[in-house]
């Protein structure tokens, strides 16, 4: 008779018989434990083995996660080192042009061709940076905006309609992919 069968009988019988059944069940379980002592040790050994497997699995998972964390840190570091690579590569032809322009100025007698060459290099530089997402900020004549402009000073406005507007630009501001990367340094009309 197994323990579940005894519980079913216990529920259906009277309380006096329940005590007798409990005693009988306790005796039977003690007899079963004595007769199957090997099974209990085996169950204990199974639990220990299961615990050691779980610990082993945990340690392997922890080591795998630690390796993943180290690998991603290294990959991020490598990416940071190389993130400006495409911009630098785009600017190398401009650098070459500047070197050629410097050599040309050593023997130049006229200023106009040198000036024209420098203007061409400047245009080439602007185009390379525009392709990477750099856009100049238009400030002159615009209302002063502290989110875009840095006021150097304010001067009396020459006309009434220029009050609170940018009159002059000391340093140009720039957007990179629609985000301000350098504020324009401006003079504001008062």
pLDDT at 20: 54
Task: Report the sign of the C-alpha dihedral through residues 123, 124, 130, 134, in that order.
Answer: negative
pLDDT at 66: 95
Cα–Cα distance list, 61 to 50, 56, 58, 65, 91 (Å):
16, 9, 5, 6, 46
The structure tokens 């050599």 sit at 103
186 CB-contact burial (10 Å; exposed 0-12 / middle 13-18 / buried 19+): buried
pLDDT at 85: 79
2 or 171, which is more confident? 171
In whole angstroms, what is the distance from residue 91 CA to residue 98 CA? Answer: 11
Domain ranges of the chain: 41-81, 84-132, 136-190
pLDDT digits (tens, 9 = 90+) for 118-162: 888 888 888 888 888 888 888 888 888 888 888 888 888 888 888
pLDDT at 31: 54
pLDDT digits (tens, 9 = 90+) for 41-66: 788 899 999 999 999 999 999 999 99
- pTM exceeds 0.75 for this model: no
Q: Which of 7-16, 59-68, 159-168 has the highest mean pLDDT?
A: 59-68
Say if domain 136-190 classifies as CATH 2.30.22.10: yes
Cα–Cα distance list, 159 to 15, 42, 123, 155, 167 (Å):
108, 99, 34, 11, 10
């Amino acid at each position: 008779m197994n323990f579940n069968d005894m519980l079913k009988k216990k529920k259906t019988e009277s309380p006096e018989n329940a005590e007798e059944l409990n005693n009988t069940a306790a005796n039977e379980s003690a007899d079963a434990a004595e007769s199957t002592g090997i099974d209990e040790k085996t169950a204990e050994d199974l639990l220990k083995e299961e615990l050691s497997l779980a610990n082993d699995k945990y340690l392997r998972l922890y080591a795998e996660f630690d390796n993943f964390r180290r690998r991603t840190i290294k990959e991020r570091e490598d990416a940071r080192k190389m993130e400006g690579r495409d911009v630098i590569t785009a600017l190398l032809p401009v650098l070459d042009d500047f070197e050629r322009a410097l050599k040309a100025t050593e023997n130049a007698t006229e200023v106009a061709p040198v000036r024209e060459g420098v203007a061409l290099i400047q245009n080439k530089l602007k185009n390379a940076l525009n392709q990477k997402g750099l856009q100049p900020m238009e400030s002159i004549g615009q209302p002063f905006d502290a989110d875009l402009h840095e006021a150097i000073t304010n001067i009396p406005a020459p006309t009434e309609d220029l009050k609170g507007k940018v009159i002059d630009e000391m340093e140009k501001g720039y957007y990179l992919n629609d985000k301000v990367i350098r504020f324009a340094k401006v003079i504001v009309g008062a």
